[in-house]
Structure 1
Amino acid sequence: MSHLIGTLLSFAGFVCLCLAMPRHQRDLLGRFLADGRGRALKMAGYGLLMLALLQVSFRLGWAYGAISWLGHMSLAAWILILLVSWRTRGA
């Protein structure tokens, strides 16, 4: 269960970081967000990635947790890349 939670937290973090970028705001939302909201999304994204690290490391220990966290982040990033590519393909 900790692997699923770690992957979901990583995915949510990457979604926040993705939406903090003006290019993805334009492509996915059709508009630009305010600067303050973009900064808040960046902070939330990094916070969720750190929360994923803490969650997995407390379950598996720091050595295995760090390795598992990198795997979770890789999987989450690939899923997000595929979804963004699929969503913006027709645009």
Structure 2
Amino acid sequence: MTPVAVSLTSLLSFSGLACLCLSMDRHGRTLFHGRPSRRRDRAFRVAGWLFIALAFAAAVITADWNFGPVQWLGSLTGAALIVVALMSYRPAWIRPAAIAALPLAMATAFFV
């Protein structure tokens, strides 16, 4: 388990959970100032599950099957805490943070 591998899985998990959060009706209304369309909800939901699956794949590739799923669950837990904190205190920051996490994840993927 290297810090680069943990940061990769954490960034992908954060982006995935943020997308799933934005696909929910209540949070979508808060952040988009109105009812989001079904197409946008579905796109956020698909993107969220895709990023979570990519985080699992990255964890298994970097830490093998012995410790990869444990690392993935830990990164999901940490990312969930950050998403909840952002939605509670600074909801407007979650979209830019999720968007900024993706290029950072791609940059850390080159160092794994």
* Structure 1 residue 39 corresponds to structure 2 residue 42: yes
- Deviation track 1:37-74 (CA, whole Å, cap 9, x = no partner) reads 11111011001000000011101001200000000000
2:9 corresponds to which of 6, 12, 31: 6
Q: What is the SS of the residue equivalent to 1:31?
A: coil
Aligned to 1:61, what secondary structure does the other structure show? Answer: helix
In structure 1, the partner of 2:63 is 60
1:72 aligns with 2:79: no
Asked whether the equivalents of residues 25 and 31 of structure 1 are also in contact (C-alpha less than 8 Å), the reply is yes
Cα distance between partner residues in 2 of 1:7 and 1:77: 10
Letter aligned with residue 32 of structure 2? L
Give the alignment's TM-score, normalised by structure 1.
0.91
Quick one: percent identity of the two aligned structures? 36
Q: Which amino acid aligns with 1:63?
A: N
d(CA) in 2 for partners of 1:38, 1:75 = 24
CA RMSD of aligned residues (A): 1.0
Between 54-63 and 29-38, the greater mean CA deviation after superposition: 29-38
Match of 1:24 among 8, 27, 31: 27
